[in-house]
Structure 1
Amino acid sequence: MKRLLRRRKSLIIAFIAATASFLLGVTLPINLRANQPLEPIQAQALAVSQSQEQKPISNINQFKQAIAHRVELSQQALAQLQGIRFQSTVLSQFQGTTIREAKLDSQHKAIALTFDDGPWPTATTQILDILKENNIKATFFWVGRYLQTYPEIGKQVAAAGHAIGNHTWNHEYLKYSEEGAAREIDRTSSLIEELTGVQTSMFRPPGGILNNGLAAYAQKKNYAVVMWSADSFDWRTITESLTDNVMRQAKSGGIVLMHDGGGNRSRTVKALPDIIARLRNEGYIFVTVPELLQMQEQELKNQETAQK
């Protein structure tokens, strides 16, 4: 009996000793690891965490302000894009009509400079520079195949805020069926919108021809067929003063025909600063064709109000 008790006591002591040894083996490495320096990555993560916890609340406000600023810039960019997108659209009452000039009284001396047959290398960009220097917006009537060839120049014109019109795809003096006219006009307008976002409602027939099917189709599609009241005759090869040609025909509400494409337009580029200077000396302001028509409409409303 005593031998059995001694045996049980030995077993209990052995169990306690084994348990203590196990616990010591587990806890001691943990404590040692806790006292050892952190690995570089662990230390960096801990530092970032502590730093973030210590950042002042003002940083959150700065973050909110930055987001608000970006939203504001995005809204401004969208508004600018919308302005570019619709600046080549004439008022609905002028769509489907033929326009040679706006009806303005002599007290409102406004005139629209227009350029045909581009976009074109060198000449178009030179004209853009002159217009920018003089803070003038003009109206450009584009040939589709040239826009396809020089898309970046076309984008520059639209980005500068000038109005854009359709001048057919091929610029040919042919007799067109409705299907043929549709190809010439629709294809050009689609490319204009694709490249610049501009939705134009202005059309100018090549050579000013109104009876070959193009103008009829354009009017059916609610384009304003925009002609001109003052021809610079820069398309002629003979030597003459382009400035004198314009000044001789200039009048309030007038639309001036010039060319930036389709050939060598160095004469136009050379004459343009003088044309602008002399028109300004005569008291003219420069507007786009849509703006010119808006001025006519506003003047008509003012007259109706005055008569009441």
Structure 2
Amino acid sequence: MRRGSDWRALLLAGLAGLVPAALSAAEGAACTKPVYLSFDTGHMGVAPLVAQVLQRHGVKATFFLANERTLNGGSSLDAQWAPWWRERAAEGHAFGSHTWDHDSWLADLPGGALRVKPSQGPQAGRVRMLSPEAYCAELARPAERFAEMTGQRMGAIFRAPGGKTSPALLKAAAACGWQHVGWAPAGFLGDELPSDRYPNAQLLARALRDIRAGDVLVAHLGIWSRQDAWAPAVLEPLITGLQARGLCFATLREHPQLGAAARTPK
């Protein structure tokens, strides 16, 4: 009897373990028209609001991390923000690099070097040259900091600041295992545009009209130049509006072309 009871207990435990997996598979199968919402770091002023909206609607997103100046004079990857990132990691969002000092590409140089202009860090605003190895180090630093903050490893995906890339930049990144992620034309959500010329209502209407299944969407966790905060004014109705059109949200780990890189730990 004891052996029979043990067998039944094991069977029940095994079935119980299958239920969450089956539910997860069913939920994944139901998402037949995904869009991929992503956020780059910024001054982090709307980060708590973004997190609340995503939680409220059960939406998972992909975050690209750079060490950017915040509203209180700190930085987006400092100790103050470590708990915020740890919570997002525990919720199952995906993560990639945005370079440590937010280096925007300017030109390719002989030998594979890159001319870039960082907007953050000790050389902010000054043009500098990075060798391919130095650019790889810039990509790796956010991954290292993310692991320190969360105990997890980010995926092998990155977004060049401003989406600006070149053959030499992509080659340098690929050589150290990084794949670039841009965004769809309709996926540019416009939160970095001036509020007086691009009010929130206009940005929302355009996004709801133009976004299609498969699009990668991009917004930020705070933009210095925008007076009327994009989140949550646009974010929440955007989510519900796209869902009403039959679209669903997934992280880049589920993307058909980018998923393998997004799932590869750095």
Q: TM-score range, shorter-chain basis?
A: 0.5 to 0.7
Give the alignment partner of residue 37 of structure 2, picking from 97, 102, 113: 113
The amino acid of 1:167's aligned partner reads H
Q: Does 1:252 align with 2:207?
A: no
- SS of the aligned residue for 1:137 comes to coil
2:232 maps to what in 1?
269
Residues matched between the structures, number: 192
1:208 maps to what in 2?
163
1:29 maps to what in 2?
none
1:21 maps to what in 2?
none
TM-aligned CA distance change 1:121 to 1:258, over 3 Å:
closer
Q: Mark the runs of 5 or more structure 2 residues left unpaired by the alignment.
A: 1-12, 18-30, 69-75, 106-114, 116-129, 261-266
The amino acid of 2:191's aligned partner reads D
The answer to whether the Cα contact below 8 Å between 1:121 and 1:153 also exists between their aligned partners in 2 is no
Deviating above 4 A after TM superposition, structure 1's stretches of 4 or more consecutive aligned residues are 294-297
Q: Does 1:136 align with 2:59?
A: yes
Shift of residue 181 of structure 1?
Answer: 0.7
TM-aligned CA distance change 1:208 to 1:244, over 3 Å:
same
Q: Does 1:231 align with 2:162?
A: no
The amino acid of 1:236's aligned partner reads L
2:95 maps to what in 1?
164
TM-aligned CA distance change 1:296 to 1:139, over 3 Å:
closer
C-alpha separation in 1, matches of 2:167 and 2:137: 14
Shift of residue 158 of structure 1?
Answer: 1.2
The amino acid of 1:113's aligned partner reads L
TM-aligned CA distance change 1:295 to 1:147, over 3 Å:
closer
The answer to whether the Cα contact below 8 Å between 1:205 and 1:215 also exists between their aligned partners in 2 is no
> Identity, % of aligned pairs?
27
Give the alignment partner of residue 175 of structure 2, picking from 217, 220, 226: 220
Give the alignment partner of residue 84 of structure 2, picking from 145, 148, 153: 153
The answer to whether the Cα contact below 8 Å between 2:103 and 2:160 also exists between their aligned partners in 1 is no
- SS of the aligned residue for 1:293 comes to coil
User: Residues 278-300 of structure 1, C-alpha deviation per residue, up to 9 Å, x if partnerless?
Assistant: 10111001100111327999xxx
2:203 maps to what in 1?
242
Shift of residue 154 of structure 1?
Answer: 1.6
User: Residues 208-253 of structure 1, C-alpha deviation per residue, up to 9 Å, x if partnerless?
Assistant: 1112854332222222211111111111113232212322331111
TM-score (norm 2): 0.65
Shift of residue 184 of structure 1?
Answer: 1.2
Shift of residue 111 of structure 1?
Answer: 0.6
C-alpha separation in 1, matches of 2:141 and 2:37: 25
Q: Mark the runs of 5 or more structure 1 residues left unpaired by the alignment.
A: 1-71, 77-106, 298-308
- SS of the aligned residue for 2:217 comes to strand
Instruction: Give the alignment's Cα RMSD to 1 decimal.
Output: 2.7
The amino acid of 1:195's aligned partner reads M
C-alpha separation in 1, matches of 2:189 and 2:63: 15
C-alpha separation in 2, matches of 1:296 and 1:252: 16
- SS of the aligned residue for 1:155 comes to helix
C-alpha separation in 1, matches of 2:99 and 2:83: 19
